[in-house]
């Protein structure tokens, strides 16, 4: 069991998560709960000061730890893909599934504010795909992942891919309980993105420089890009690839295999 936003809100009735079989695509609503019914105000009188020092994002961290332990008990590796919108997460994932889904048991949770377009693009006969629609939320959180995983639980044995909401800011702050965080950095983004949005790069284990087939055409300065990545994520592994031409894909696929 997990809490839905605490005692002073009424949980939105998520209901039990639907069961999604390989080849199916289902949308799960994970919008935040509606806040209602706060306790009445009191009168002021004598005051007492109490020291708490309690972290306020603790709820997500607790749920993320819970997810991580749960994934581990299933022997499952979880890859969280993060990037700004349009860096190529969905295309990368579709091609990755083509390469791996017949050999490994995979599942996908994909987050967007609205639509199930991405989930439809990721449809694969051997893979259950869940579109998580967040409503207003600009990121996925550990609670949403717990709900989404409930839907694919029975059919995912090896690898769970999470495609986060396209956003270079907030997903950095929300641990989902993943094994590996992968940041996509498209040549078309411009080589200064790591300097402009450092936290997301800092928090990742591996960086994929995507769309490298058109790097020259868009004037991508490779040297500057590596210099900027060195400043923000000195420990991250970097792979250049193109989901369209397949360049660099061997290295990416071997990296995933090395996790299993």
Partner 1 sequence: MHELGIMESAFKLALGELDRHEAKSVSCMVLRIGELAAVDPVALRFAFDAIRPGTALEQAELVIETVQGKAICNKCNEEFTTKSYGILKCPKCGEYTGRLTAGREIDLARLELAE
| Greatest distance between any 2 Cα atoms in the chain | 71
Q: 92-131: which residues touch partner 1 (CB under 8 A)? A: none
Q: What is the residue-wise DSSP string for 142-191?
A: HHHHHHHHHHHGGG-SSEEEEE--S-SSGGGG---S-SEEEEEEEGGG-T
Note whether 124 and 151 are within 8 A (CB). no
The size of the interface with partner 1 (CB under 8 A), counted in residues, is 47
Residue 166: other Cβ atoms inside 10 A: 21
DSSP 41: P
Q: d(Cα 210, Cα 242) in Å, to the nearest integer?
A: 5
Residue 29 is a binding residue for partner 1 (CB under 8 A): no
For partner 1, the closer CB: 16 or 234: 234
Tell me if 49 contacts partner 1 by CB under 8 A.
yes
Place of tokens 């800011």: 169
Q: Single out the segment in contact with partner 1 by CB under 8 A; choices: 117-125, 149-157, 193-201, 247-255.
A: 193-201
Per CB under 8 A, the list member of 5, 68, 153, 244 interacting with partner 1 is 5
Task: Single out the segment in contact with partner 1 by CB under 8 A; choices: 3-11, 115-123, 142-150, 153-161.
Answer: 3-11
User: Quick one: which segment of 13-21, 39-47, 98-106, 115-123 binds partner 1 (CB under 8 A)?
Assistant: 39-47
Q: Is 50 in the site for partner 1 (CB under 8 A)?
A: yes
* Site of tokens 């965080």: 181
Asked if 52 interacts with partner 1 (CB under 8 A), we say yes
User: Residue 154 CB: number of other CB atoms within 10 A?
Assistant: 12
Q: Binding residue for partner 1 (CB under 8 A) from 149, 161, 197, 220?
A: 197
- Assess 138 for contact with partner 1 (CB under 8 A): yes
Place of tokens 């607790």: 62
Tell me the C-alpha to C-alpha distance, in Å, between residue 259 and each of 81, 110, 139, 244, 252. 15, 21, 25, 24, 11
CB of 7 to partner 1, least distance (A): 6
53 binds partner 1 (CB under 8 A): yes
Q: Out of 15, 51, 75, 223, name the contact with partner 1 by CB under 8 A.
A: 51
Least distance (Å) between residue 97 CB and partner 1:
30
Nearer to partner 1, 29 or 59 (CB): 59
Nearest to partner 1 of 171, 248 (CB atom) = 171
Q: Are 3 and 59 in contact (CB under 8 A)?
A: yes
Instruction: Report the alpha-carbon distance of residue 41 to residue 104 in Å, rounded.
Output: 56
Q: Which residues bind partner 1 (CB under 8 A)?
A: 5-9, 32, 35, 38-59, 138-139, 169-170, 172-173, 194-195, 197-199, 201-202, 230-232, 234-235
């Amino acid at each position: 069991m997990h809490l839905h936003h605490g005692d002073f809100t009424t949980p939105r009735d998520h209901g039990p998560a639907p069961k999604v079989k390989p080849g199916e695509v289902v949308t799960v609503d994970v919008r935040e709960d509606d806040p209602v019914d706060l306790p009445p105000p009191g009168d002021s009188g004598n005051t007492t000061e109490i020291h708490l020092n309690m972290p306020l994002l603790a709820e997500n961290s607790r749920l993320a730890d819970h997810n991580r332990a749960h994934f581990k008990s299933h022997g499952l590796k979880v890859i969280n893909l993060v990037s700004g919108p349009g860096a190529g997460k969905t295309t990368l994932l579709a091609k990755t599934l083509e390469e791996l889904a017949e050999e490994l048991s995979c599942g996908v949770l994909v987050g967007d504010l609205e639509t199930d377009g991405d989930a439809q693009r990721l449809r694969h006969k051997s893979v259950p795909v869940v579109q998580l629609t967040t409503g207003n939320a600009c990121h996925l959180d550990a609670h949403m992942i717990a709900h989404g995983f409930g839907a694919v639980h029975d059919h995912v044995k090896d690898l769970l891919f999470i495609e986060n909401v396209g956003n270079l800011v907030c997903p950095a702050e929300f641990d989902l309980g993943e094994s590996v965080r992968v940041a996509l950095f498209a040549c078309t983004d411009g080589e200064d993105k790591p300097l402009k949005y450092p936290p997301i790069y800092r928090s990742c284990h591996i960086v994929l420089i995507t769309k490298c087939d058109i790097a020259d055409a868009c004037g991508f300065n490779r040297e500057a890009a590596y210099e900027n990545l060195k400043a923000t994520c000195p420990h991250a592994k970097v792979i250049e690839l193109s989901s369209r031409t397949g360049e660099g894909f061997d290295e990416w696929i071997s990296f995933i295999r090395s996790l299993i």
